[in-house]
Structure 1
């Protein structure tokens, strides 16, 4: 389960990690921003998978980044 409450919300509601933007600048800070995508045709599937296994669905880009930093992520979309 991701420690970030925003990630928990989106992933628990069937979104998947689409992209990561390093050095994202907001009004208050500089950090990393993640884009979540909801595919309406797969909402139920992604929700059930995350609810049952806590396994996230992520894009190729995110899986590539995770592999190159030795993080383990889930299943590729």
Structure 2
């Protein structure tokens, strides 16, 4: 599955414990990453300073569902149970 451009669910729903430029302590779940632009695209995509956890995330139907809202709901649920 290809990532849905402009979704941004993986940059909002999960907590990220590793440092992110502009967020040196990572980010809590449900908080929009400061590197997500107005079009919900990552400003660090393809750059070496992008956190490894972000680089290793791959879109899949089970997580991303069929809509941006479903992706946000699914990732939020996964975050809550882990």
TM-score > 0.5, shorter chain as reference: no
Judging by fraction of residues, say which structure has more helix: 1
TM-score normalised by L of structure 2: 0.27
Q: Give 1 or 2 for the bigger CA radius of gyration.
A: 1
Give the TM-score normalised by the residue count of structure 1.
Answer: 0.28
